Structure 1
């Protein structure tokens, strides 16, 4: 039995906490994957996984073995890719996590172009507006917008993404147009639950960044939904530019305080530090960084 198969089976079971999911990803039966792991444990003379009828978890020895074997598996995959395939015929699966709105509106079209260029690469894209654990949940990379807080991951910036404050003409007609960012204190604002400080919006005022306190009845964790709510006239929103580009063009929303925008957020690809990028993942990141449509500021007025 091939040692690489044993290691790969163990790593997939450990990362997914499931023999069934590991078997699906390997294209093997759950019974065979279980045998792979058992044979690996016998060969090493240690228990790598705690098993019950309902759960699978790593032992201390298993956690150590996983940290050491994953770079070896990545290196083996890289070796095979480089020997067997050139850059135009990449092969394999890339597991990607991305925010729901950005993933649907901007990332998906870019992935379609990448998929057309590399037809033997399978792209498994999972949408989520929470910060997934890339390593524990088995992703090759995650696309994120905003401050990059996880120092355990490598970051490749793909482009800037401005935050824009906007409202519908109907709201401004009803509530009045604020003439200064500090006037937002008297307006209904949509709070972003993804932010560390949802009730604080920052602006460039007199060449200095200034915090403005805001409040409102609506709080949500999906910027695209906040933009749609603002377009109904319910409140003022602050959103990444990609979520409001179409609404600006149609006139459903207008930007407020364009001259007071702070430095834009970054759109970035994040991936594990201790893992050598396979050729296919590296090619995808390069493609995203070179795609002018991914981070284009269609919201500029």
Structure 2
């Protein structure tokens, strides 16, 4: 059997975790799918799938082969597109992910711009405060804040942000500006669990960090809520600099203890494109990189 066909069948079965599901996706009969998987395993001399009466799971070798097969099939599709001239204009579906507030403030305007420029493209935006597995969830482009783990993904640095402490001018006037991280123990603290779930804030350089354990008076599950509580004068909170930028500009919040801040966190656009680079992904990355690099709040 054709090797690319066998890879295609294996990817379908591995992603669906079912021979029947893979057959439905490909419009093949279940026996034909079973024969294809058996032929592939015989060719490789490796067991790729664990089969029981209740489920199908990839083996350790199968997971590595699944990742490689996805990449290879994606490159073949992109090579076909390039040869057919589809790269002349972005088209098709694009899935993008970013943190919730960052996505709302910086990525969504770029998506709107992208869709306005390219009428044959459509986008799914996953704005989540967790790291999305791009391969498993079918994500084409991600915006990530913080150091990147080693991976096969490609990354483009587009800016940086800081983790900052802030409070309203009214709160600081009434209670005074803290002069050291230890002084936070005598202040009202608002903790956003998405940023500091352990309620232990680290200050200073990596070479000599100071960890301060705090008991917040208010713990919230969203950064928006922490911002509103701080703006209302309840206390001091810790957030990303981009999250409070509009409120700093409006004079509703002020940064404190800036001399104790950690090193800035890099912002990257991460993607899993091959050397061919489909037009839809390449055009979106170029547009978003230009927008983020030009934003004064991120550089």
Structure-2-length-normalised TM-score: 0.76
Q: Does the C-alpha gap of structure 1 residues 63 and 241 become closer, same or farther in structure 2, counting only changes over 3 Å?
A: same
Q: Secondary structure at the match of 1:290?
A: helix
- Partner residue, 2:36: 40
Mapped partners of 2:3, 2:123: distance in 1: 27
Native 8 Å contact 1:242 1:295 kept in 2: no
Mapped partners of 1:48, 1:18: distance in 2: 13
Mark the structure with the bigger radius of gyration: 2
Asked whether 1:228 is paired with 2:223, we answer: no
Q: 1:65-84 to 2 correspondence within 5 Å?
A: 65-84=65-84
Native 8 Å contact 1:7 1:40 kept in 2: no
Mapped partners of 2:27, 2:86: distance in 1: 32
Q: When the two structures are aligned, how many residues end up with a matched partner?
A: 289
Q: Secondary structure at the match of 1:132?
A: coil
Unaligned runs of 5+ in 1: none
Mapped partners of 1:126, 1:6: distance in 2: 32
Asked whether 1:266 is paired with 2:266, we answer: yes
Deviation of residue 195 (structure 1)? Answer: 5.0
Unaligned runs of 5+ in 2: none
Deviation of residue 107 (structure 1)? Answer: 0.9
Mapped partners of 1:236, 1:16: distance in 2: 47
- Partner residue, 1:140: 140
Structure-1-length-normalised TM-score: 0.76
- Partner residue, 1:199: 200
Mapped partners of 1:5, 1:69: distance in 2: 11
Aligned-CA RMSD value: 3.7
Deviation of residue 239 (structure 1)? Answer: 1.2
- Partner residue, 1:90: 90
Q: Secondary structure at the match of 1:270?
A: strand
Native 8 Å contact 1:152 1:272 kept in 2: no
